A and B are shown apart, each in its own frame.
Chain A
């Protein structure tokens, strides 16, 4: 990849940053506190400790870890009703219950569609003592509500047009991530009703799209893990429903898992001290390190590039770099932010904010970097999961701090100017929308916003965000869905944004 895009003096080259991505893909999935995650945080500690002037800190947090070991599904039935044998599983249901090595066997009972609307615990009664088949709603959501685009960038279009194009694209979005957010299956209730296992069926998406989706990531473990549960695709769900209707289908559900009560996981962070008169009015650059794929966790690689860049430059403000753990086990990490600014959103960095309140309470802004370089994938008209030919929108919340009195939104202006600067230099700026949360705020920037900081918080939401690699090549962990030029362009834009905010007066935030 030599002869890459224009860069900034001192910023690691695109070749070097892409090599970090290859390394990240080779570490394996990085579920919270898993071996792959530990490899990644150790590597980050090593890299950041080598940056001149960087004051590295590590918080090791003891928590209860659940890791899947093996999972499978098979069916036995009268040949007249359908075939017997293995059944394709999309993935396991994280932090659900576990089975013995040989699995559990029971009659398959089709409970139909689960919808939170009007749900009661009686939903589970028909499957008492058996294994339930449950179809979930198609996870379609409209971004028409909850956030207000206020500008953007697209090649050869105005800022206004970019915002309008985003509005059009975001009116109806189908994404597996919404399933866990809005319609997580209440497995605890299933267990309490005597159901022995649950097979959850995706609706309205291709098997390739739902393959390996680690969903949801908000399931509680502590002392009450509920039923063991697996995911299957839409067509597989239809097959199982037909088998259940015939009345004698027996399924064997296997999901073995290790539960470690005193596992540990690290939040890696630190500061490049500034030298300005009010250096304590700092900037917090943040992301998370745990997750199922390269697109999900590559924000920390952006932070590494930026830390190396800014370590060589004069800085007015303290620049904090926070790489939080716990994003994929929020029930054990997410904390309330005192006296929050109203927002629908919270995330893992709230743990760090709670335990180091003096830093964020004096800081001016948070710059959140997640999901760098994402191309856009969706089911096409033929039902095939394929690239659309577009980049994912660089959806970015650009907000002023709590007591904003400035008519000019410095954060938005700094960011969009930076994106233009990246584009003008010949690098790939992608397509960007700048938004206000009203009141939806996705991603790790939400707690910083709630805490009163200005934000430049980028959180694209590709359909493969929670996917632990594709169906055909899971080992790549979706590295192949990233565009290196876009990834690097986004880092360049954040370098420029931070430089602008570092030079700005505190009163302008």
Chain B
């Protein structure tokens, strides 16, 4: 790697960061577990029964957008002053913690409402929505079985739903 370029992984400070690295890993795992839970919970609710006040939601989402920008600015500012890998890892860990807290707070407020407020796509909420779309697509996609061919060329056809899996409720 070129000498003039500093990389987080090549700074030679890996040993110093051992403990912090483990904590980041734990933090990330907790974050993902939490998000999985939040997404699953959101997907099981009935949107129509949880219609929320438009004005309030728009206001909240716009506030959240402002928080996004502020959080990113803070991260950029801190990282630009980081002296070594240890500090970089620490800053990133704090950022993840902040994101978890913000995401948690927002999801409690917004519940499973999805996507845009005015001209701004509420990014956090959109991610929850996108995750649900992906899960639904994968869950409802046909399953396939090989119908002919050999090791080099195989032909596959969808298994009829009643053979491969039970029909699923459509949105």
Instruction: Give A contacts to B, CB under 8 Å.
Output: 56-63, 115-120, 137-142, 144-146, 148, 150-151, 153, 156-161, 163-164, 167-168, 171-172, 178, 181-184, 203-204, 218, 220, 264, 330-336, 341-346, 350-351, 355, 404, 407-409, 412-413, 416-417, 420, 423-424, 436, 438-440
Contacts and interface: CB of A to CB of B under 8 A. Distances in A.
Contact of B156 (A156, A203, A355, A423): A355
Given A137-B115, A440-B127, A60 B154 contact: yes
Contact of B65 (A118, A142, A159, A408): A142
Nearest to B128: A344
A168 B152 CA distance: 48
A278 to B, nearest CB: 23
Contacts of A137: 115-116, 118-121
Contacts of B36: 342
A111 to B, nearest CB: 16
B33 interface: yes
Contacts of B129: 116, 182
B17 A407 contact: yes
Nearest to B50: A118
B62 interface: no
B126 A141 contact: yes
B130 A160 contact: no
Contacts of B115: 115-117, 137, 182-183
Contacts of B131: 344
Given A60-B154, A120-B51, A438-B31, A351 B144 contact: yes
A9 B94 CA distance: 45
Given A138-B121, A408-B9, 14 more contacts: A138-B119, A141-B123, A151-B7, A156-B4, A159-B7, A160-B80, A167-B75, A181-B133, A182-B116, A182-B129, A334-B141, A343-B32, A355-B156, A420-B2
B41 interface: no
B133 A159 contact: no
Most buried by A among B31, B114, B126: B126
B151 to A, nearest CB: 7
B72 A141 contact: no
Contact of B151 (A57, A159, A409): A57
Given A117-B122, A182-B116, A331-B137, A58 B158 contact: no
Given A160-B6, A413-B7, A439-B35, A346 B138 contact: yes
Contacts of B63: none
Nearest to B33: A342
A222 B36 CA distance: 29
Contacts of B138: 334-336, 346, 350
B69 A62 contact: no
B6 A118 contact: no
A163 B7 CA distance: 10
Given A115-B117, A420-B2, A423-B2, A407 B99 contact: no
A61 B116 contact: no
User: Is chain A's binding surface mostly helix, strand, loop or mixed?
Assistant: mixed
Given A167-B76, A351-B144, A440-B127, A141 B8 contact: no
A332 B155 CA distance: 15
B35 A342 contact: yes
Nearest to B32: A342
Contacts, number: 222
B152 A355 contact: no
B134 A346 contact: yes
Contacts of B154: 57-60
A157 to B, nearest CB: 8
B37 to A, nearest CB: 10
Contact of B121 (A151, A182, A420): A182
B155 A60 contact: yes
Contacts of A345: 134
B121 A332 contact: no
B10 interface: yes
A183 B116 contact: yes
Contacts of B157: 61-62
Nearest to A165: B76
A184 B138 CA distance: 17
Contacts of A59: 153-156
A151 to B, nearest CB: 5
B1 A417 contact: yes
B14 to A, nearest CB: 5
Interface string B34-74: 01100100000001100110100100010001001101100
Contacts of B137: 218, 220, 330-331, 334, 346
Contact of A416 (B1, B14, B52, B61): B1
Contacts of B31: 438-439
16 contacts: A60-B155, A61-B156, A62-B155, A117-B115, A137-B115, A137-B116, A144-B69, A146-B127, A150-B8, A160-B6, A182-B129, A218-B133, A334-B134, A344-B127, A351-B144, A439-B35
Nearest to A410: B9
Given A58-B154, A120-B48, A145-B68, A416 B7 contact: yes
Most buried by B among A141, A159, A182, A203: A182
Contacts of A168: 72, 76
B119 A204 contact: yes
A116 B116 contact: yes
A351 to B, nearest CB: 7
Given A160-B82, A171-B72, A150 B141 contact: no
Nearest to A186: B171
A127 B75 CA distance: 48
B62 to A, nearest CB: 12
A412 B10 CA distance: 10
Contacts of B135: 336
A306 B33 CA distance: 37
Nearest to B125: A117
Contacts of A420: 1-2, 5
B25 A148 contact: no
A119 B15 CA distance: 52
A344 B9 contact: no
A362 to B, nearest CB: 18
